[in-house]
Every structure is written in structure tokens, then in C-alpha cells.
Amino acid sequence: MSTARRLHHTLADYVSMERDSPIKHEYCDGEIYAMAGGTAAHGALAAAVISSFGAQLPKGCRALTSDVRVRIEGSDLSTYPDALVICGAASYDATDTHAVTNPVVVVEVTSPSSEDYDHGEKLSHYKQLPSLKAVVIVSHRTRRVTVHSRGTSWDTREFRAGEIAVISEPALKLEVDRLYAVLEGL
């Protein structure tokens, strides 16, 4: 009887594979995971967040799409948030020169397969980024935006239909109803 052997990959292995891959992968502590493609609703919500942020960001800050990889050295995670904000010059990982290390805001739009991970383990990874001021999680199930903000400690607030989600640094707002209006007709 044969036994299955789990392969451990180095970050350099991942970076090399990702450079030529037609699909995105997440890397965590030696494991490589294929990331599923999103639905039209998922894409519309992410685009609406980016559009809203882009109109509000102060000079020197910019909203970026899920094409940008983020490296969290402290927890050995490389991933593609659905959106992110960087203020000032981007910093890149020494091994993975395509991965930024200094987002101030990351955004995840949940899906049935990612919801628990986004609110749990992935959130814990993100909180290890020294530059990070907020993690925004947009629900795929209901009109709900959860904002985890870093002050002297991490604070969590949920915003629902009729409310405006607030991020204090950088100063950003997301009108929940306006955000979810992009789903009409999808």
C-alpha cells in the first residue's frame, strides 16, 4: 500500500510557478492552493468598492485590483485580496518582487467557499501586516460590510442596509445600499 506524501514548496517555487500560471494561487507556509474564479456578482462588488475608494482617496493613495499580490511575511502568506489600498510608495517582498507588503486597507468579498476563511484564518494573517489599518469584508449573502480597524487594538464593526461603513484611516466611506445596488440585474 502506498502512502500519500505532502509536498512542501518554498516561496521561490511558488513565485516561479505563479509567474507562468494562467490561474492565481495562494501560498501559505509551504502549501499552494488554486484560487477559484469569481462570479459576476463577486466581481461587481469588488469593482464597486474600488470605484468608491478611488473617488475618496487622498493624494498619494491608490486603490488596486485583485491582480496585485500581497505578501505577509509574518505568517508566510501570499494572496490576492479582492481590492487593496496603498498610500505612498509601494514596498515589495525581497523574494517575491511582484508582491506588495504595505497595504493600508485590504478588501475581501466573500463567497460560499471563502466566507469562513475570510472572517477567520485569513483575517488573522492580514492583521500581521504592520502597515495595515483596516480589513473590509463584503458579504456575498446579505447587505453587510464588516470593517476591522486597527487603533490601539483591533476593533470590529458591522454595517448593514441603510448604513454607511466608515474607515478612519485613510478616511473612507462605503454606502452599503449603493454598494449592493450594482447587483441589480445580475
How far is the C-alpha of 141 from the C-alpha of 161, rounded, in Å? 12
The share of the chain scoring above pLDDT 70, in percent, equals 96
CB 104 within 8 A of CB 91: no
CA atoms of 106 and 70, how far apart (whole Å): 9
Give the residue from 71, 148, 69, 146 showing the smallest Cα distance to 110: 146
> What digits encode the pLDDT tens for the residues 51-98?
999 999 999 999 999 999 999 999 999 999 999 999 999 999 999 999
HSE-up of residue 29 (Cα within 13 Å, Cβ side): 6
Whole-angstrom distance, CA of residue 163 vs CA of residue 179: 11
pLDDT per position as a tens digit, 85-111? 999 999 999 999 999 999 999 999 999
Residue 33, beta-bridge partner list: 26
Q: What three-state secondary structure class fits 37?
A: coil
Alpha helices (H) in the chain, listed in sequence order: 11-20, 40-56, 115-119, 121-126, 176-180
Quote the CA–CA distance of 135 and 106 in Å, as a whole number: 5
What spatial distance separates the first Cα and last Cα of the chain, rounded to whole Å?
50
Q: Which positions ≥6 away from 4 have C-beta within 8 Å?
A: none
pTM: 0.92
Residue 106, helix vs strand vs coil: strand
Q: Is 75 helix (H, G, I), strand (E, B) or coil?
A: helix
Q: What domains appear along the chain, each with residue ranges and CATH number?
A: 39-183 (3.90.1570.10)
